[in-house]
Amino acid sequence: MATRQTTHPASRTTWALSAVLVAAAIAPQTLAAQPAAAADTDPECTTYSVPTYVWEPTTTNIAGKRVLHKYMDWGPVSADTDLLDTLQTASLPATSKVFTGGGHGILYEATLGGQVKAYKDNTAVGGSLLTPVKTYALNWSSAKRILTNGQVFLVFASDGTVDVYKQSSPATGNGTLTQVVDSTKSPVTAAIAGADDAWMVNSVLQWLKDGVIKQTVLLPLSGNTVRMWGTTDIATGVDAAQAWAPGPQAVSTQSVTGDPDTTGQIRAFATGPWASTDADVRSGIVGEIMADAGPCLTDPDPDVAPYFGTPPDESGGEVATEGAADPAPAPSRTVTGTFTLGNGRPAAGLPVTVTAPDVELGASGQTKATVVGTATTAEDGSWSLTLPETLPAAVQQAKDDNGGILNLDAVAMGSTAAGVKMLAVDSLSAMTDRSAVDASIAGPDNGHSVKLVPNTVDSTGALKDTFAAATESRTYAAKRSDSPAVPDGEDPTWQSDTGVLAADYNPYLVDGKDVSADAVRPPVSPLASGSCSTLRVPVSSEIKYTVVGEAHAGWDSKAIFEYESAMNTSVETAVKSNGNWTLGASKELSQSVSVSVGYTSPHPHYAKQYKVPIEYVNTRSQYICSGSVRSTWYKIEPKRYKPPTQGALGKIGKDVSGKDGSANFNRSPKANRNFLYSGNSFQLAKGKSIKFGGAVSFYGVSMGAKTGYDTNHKQKIIAGGKSGKHWIWGKNGTLGSGKAGVFYSK
């Protein structure tokens, strides 16, 4: 909410706020001379941003708390309309009803306990979103819906009857709420009560029902009756679940789909005549949406970037530059790592087997894992293996097919003194020849520290692979994938493929005993024995669209994301050896794909993730010595870029524009900020992206992904022609350092 928004000329509001509702007798449906709801052309109007509140759905107990989230509708009647996240939230009981209107920043809560509480939104001046003002002894808890323009309150019952109240002090919410009409009803009030959604702007009531938006104009109260000036259709064929008005001659709608990437899409329209002003303001907004609609609307200054409260501090900063390219990583035939006990102490003296899993990934049946070498952990738990100068032909082919990067698995196993089998699997990669690798590839990935965990999975026992499609919807992975929001943070390390694990889940409990500190000794039969081998068999495979990047464009700019010619993405792997999955190191995908995908934003104020189709496989591995199964584990890993038959080569993902805007800019480190002059551009084309948590969900497991930036994989922004600085900032570091990960736009 901009500071200038609160100016509302008294000459504009006197007639509007004196209007009341409903009619005992309804005027004809055809309107001859409909009164103006507000004079939008009045040069004194200063309302160019409108507080818009989302009463977000409860995610837990219906009796718990529910979040009220504040957005700002900037320029709702201009060509640059946008719905900006202010990052301001508050919680109220989920059983309450929340409503607002009139443009004064007053919100009301009708409680289940029979009270009406008034609050003042003071966030624009650094205060609370819900500053208590007054509590009224009014029981509106059973109302079907409550509409207000700040002065008049219309309390609708389910049967269409309406009680009408007036607020003596609409600007403060601290006046007297007096009932002026008791239980009146008409066909129009019944229609509003039964509508899909309804809202009020000045003296106008509008409602949405089955894709049609209608309105009626309310005339001043006469005795104990109320009158309205007809009803008329505003629009037909409206694809929306709900709608609202930020002010006169403007309507916004929200559509709901079964696709989390598109649901909650906000569209903006002008009325009289009905016309689209922005078909995709943003998406991912779910919940009950209401605007503190002011009496008039005007355009913002086109050369002022949207802001919340007071203009942000834009002092200092330098022009954005890409910086020098990082030196190419040196090739090496040596791979390393460390294995530890569950408590982090070294796991010494354990044999380590290193295999090349990509050799067998294309097989449809059981195969024998290809061993490329063995090692033994030292006293500090570390191990090292130097690969042969000449790799076996199948291993060399797998490396060549992956752009010169060789993916490897390192497996360590043993048992405690009590006979509890322990296992650890590490995913790593090697680059043995720089000349064989595209110069943009980041290079090898090894040297990880991995904890041993109980190996209690038995393919013939009670803890065999338990995944079932019927239970997947209850998993953390499904909940994150199905949410239209993109939460911060990485996925939890431990995940269940049948539900959500408890916060205090302990993978080291075996028969009631914690074995995380128990010493682990080598298996009886050495891994190098010719009588021992690891057999692998695919359990399931599926093509899943995976987030590989995103681009941001706030204010007057265009966002571009490009993903061309070859894969340059690493995706987390997951291993199950004790009944639940644990996320491990990432696997590098560098294959040639010979496609060019990505997007250029259709307009400013646009930020979306981008996805490409990747095939994933879940394999079961069993370490067998002389016919006896010694260890069993499952592993999920990406296999290759593979568009489904008649499927998209890539597609737009979830909306991430909530990371942009002045509120986020104000919270960003100043050292990470740079700006562009109008018409200039900037791109991230070196380093790696941030890890996109929840990048993909497969087999009940949510995994993250990163993409390496280079000349063919980049996030780019082009500043428009408006004067002033176009500010951008890196999430994890300065823009020219190669460590920004991703950049956002003000």
Q: Which of 291, 324, 351 is the last residue of a domain?
A: 291
User: pTM to 2 decimals?
Assistant: 0.90
Q: What is the 3-state secondary structure (H, E, C) of 602-659?
A: CCCCEEEEEEEEEEEEEEEEEEEECCEEEEEEEEEEEEEECCCCCCCCCEEEEECHHH
3-state secondary structure 108-141: EEECCCCCEEEEECCHHHCCCCCEEEEEECCCCC
597 and 486 part of one domain: yes
Whole-number Å distance between alpha carbons of 267 and 283: 9
Q: Identify which has the larger pLDDT, 659 or 5.
A: 659
Question: Does one domain contain both 269 and 341?
Answer: no
Average pLDDT for 18-35: 31
SS3 598: strand
Q: Is residue 18 domain-shared with residue 132, that is, in the same domain?
A: yes
Q: What is the CATH number of the domain that holds 155?
A: 2.115.10
Do 73 and 50 meet the contact criterion of CB atoms below 8 Å apart? Answer: yes
The four Cα atoms 540, 541, 546, 548 give a dihedral, to 10 degrees, of 120
Judgement on whether residues 558 and 500 belong to the same structural domain of the protein? yes
Taking residue 594's Cβ as centre, other Cβ atoms within 10 Å add up to 9
Q: What is the structure's pLDDT at 399?
A: 94
In Å, how far from its chain's centre is CA 130? Answer: 26
Bridge-based pairing state of the strands 681-684 and 382-386: unpaired
What does the pLDDT look like over 271-306, one tens digit per residue? 989 999 999 999 999 999 999 998 999 999 888 899
Specify whether 414 is located in the same domain as 557. Answer: yes
Q: Which pLDDT score is estimated for 441? A: 59
From the list 258, 241, 1, 222, the residue with the least C-alpha distance to 106 is 1
Q: Is the pLDDT of residue 451 over 70?
A: yes
Q: Is 102 exposed, middle or buried, given 0-12, 13-18 or 19+ CB atoms closer than 10 A? A: buried
Which of 291, 309, 324 terminates a domain? The answer is: 291
For residue 15, the model assigns a pLDDT of 31
Q: What is the DSSP string of 546-581?
A: EEEEEEEE-SSEEEEEEEEEE--EEEEEEEESSSSE
52 neighbors 289 (Cβ within 8 angstroms): yes
- The C-alpha atoms of residue 694 and residue 703 are separated, in whole angstroms, by 5
| Sign of torsion over alpha carbons 236, 289, 58, 476 | positive
Residue 732, both tokens:
């994890």
Is the predicted pLDDT of residue 309 greater than 50, yes or no?
yes
* 499 lies in some domain: yes
Question: pLDDT, tens digit, for every residue of 550-563?
Answer: 999 999 999 999 99
Residue 602 lies in a domain: yes
Q: Among residues of the chain, what percentage have pLDDT more than 70?
A: 89
Per the DSSP assignment, residues forming a β-bridge with 397 are: none
Asked whether residue 190 is domain-assigned, the answer is: yes
Beta-carbon contacts of residue 45 (< 8 Å; ≥ 6 apart): 9, 12, 296, 297, 298
% of the chain exceeding 90 in pLDDT: 73
pLDDT of residue 35: 35
How far apart, in whole angstroms, are the C-alpha atoms of residue 558 and residue 552?
8
Query: How many domains are contained in the chain?
Result: 2
In a domain, 133, yes or no: yes
Pairing of strands 581-589, 406-415: unpaired
Per-residue pLDDT band for 6 (boundaries 50, 70, 90) equals very low
Q: What is the pLDDT of residues 169-227, one digit of tens each?
A: 999 999 999 999 888 899 999 999 999 999 999 999 999 999 999 999 988 766 666 67
Q: How confident is the model at residue 587 (pLDDT cuts 50, 70, 90)?
A: very high
Q: How far apart are CA 307 and CA 215, in angstroms?
A: 32
Phi-psi region of 659 (alpha: psi -120 to 50; beta: other; left: phi over 0): alpha
Do the Cβ atoms of 113 and 161 come closer than 8 Å?
Answer: no
Beta bridge partners of 560: 600, 716
Residue 305 lies in a domain: no
| DSSP 8-state class, residue 482 | H
Per-chain mean pLDDT for the chain = 88
CB atoms within 10 A of CB 104: 20
pLDDT at 230: 85
Domain co-membership, 349 together with 216: no
Structural contact between residues 743 and 734, judged by C-beta atoms closer than 8 angstroms: no
361 pLDDT more than 70: yes
Query: What distance in Å separates the CA atoms of residue 302 and residue 306, rounded to the nearest whole number?
Result: 9
Q: What Å distances lie between residue 611 and 472, 549, 590, 696, 715, CA to CA?
A: 22, 7, 16, 9, 14
- Of the candidates 615, 467, 459, the one whose C-alpha atom is nearest the C-alpha of residue 537 is 459
pLDDT tens, position by position, 415-435 = 999 999 999 999 999 988 866
The Cα 548–Cα 688 span in angstroms is 11
Contact 128, 319 (CB under 8 A): no
Indicate whether 103 and 205 sit together in one domain. yes
For the CA atoms of 224, 229, 231, 235, the dihedral, rounded to the nearest 10 degrees, stands at -130
Are residues 482 and 623 part of one domain?
yes
Amino acid at 642: K
CA dist list (Å): 486 to 384, 579, 654, 722: 39, 28, 7, 30
Q: What mean pLDDT is predicted for residues 251-271?
A: 95
Lowest mean pLDDT among 167-171, 361-365, 528-532: 528-532
What pLDDT score does 459 carry? 54
Q: Give the three-state DSSP class for 401.
A: helix
Query: Do both 216 and 343 map to the same domain?
Result: no
* Angular region, 196: left φ>0, alpha ψ -120 to 50, beta rest: alpha
- Nearest-angstrom CA–CA distance, 49 and 52: 9
Token pair listed for 15: 């007639």
Among 678, 663, 679, CA closest to 729: 663
- What confidence score (pLDDT) does residue 228 get? 75
Q: Note the pLDDT of residue 87.
A: 94
Tokens 């699997």 — which residue? 425
Q: Which long-range contacts (CB under 8 A, 24 or more apart) does 459-463 make?
A: 459/620, 459/622, 459/629, 459/632, 463/578, 463/579
Which pLDDT score, from 0 to 100, does residue 469 have?
75
Quick one: pLDDT band at residue 652, thresholds 50, 70, 90?
Answer: very high
Statement to judge: residues 617 and 534 lie in one domain: yes
Indicate if the pLDDT at residue 21 is higher than 60: no
- Tell me, yes or no, whether 317 lies in a domain: no
Structural domain for 561, as ranges? 334-745
CA distance 449 to 573: 15
Cα separation of 509 and 721, whole Å? 62
d(CA 258, CA 241): 13
Locate tokens 């709801």: which residue? 37
Token couple for 723: 């004067």
In a domain? residue 367: yes
- The string of pLDDT tens digits covering residues 665-698 is 999 999 999 999 999 999 998 889 999 999 999 9
Written as six digits, the tokens of 600 are: 């250029």
- Residue 470, classed as helix, strand or coil, is helix
Among 291, 322, 352, residue at a domain's last position: 291
Report helix, strand or coil for 681. strand
Structure token pair of residue 172: 């403060």
pLDDT at 259 over 50: yes
DSSP bridge pairs for 421? 415
What pLDDT is recorded for position 627?
A: 85
What is the token pair recorded at 364? 């449809």
Tokens of 280: 């995709």
Same domain, residue pair 341 and 270: no
**Two tokens, residue 276:** 């689209």
515 and 456 part of one domain: yes
**Mean pLDDT lowest for which of 37-46, 118-127, 157-166, 391-400?**
37-46
Note whether residue 497 is domain-resident: yes
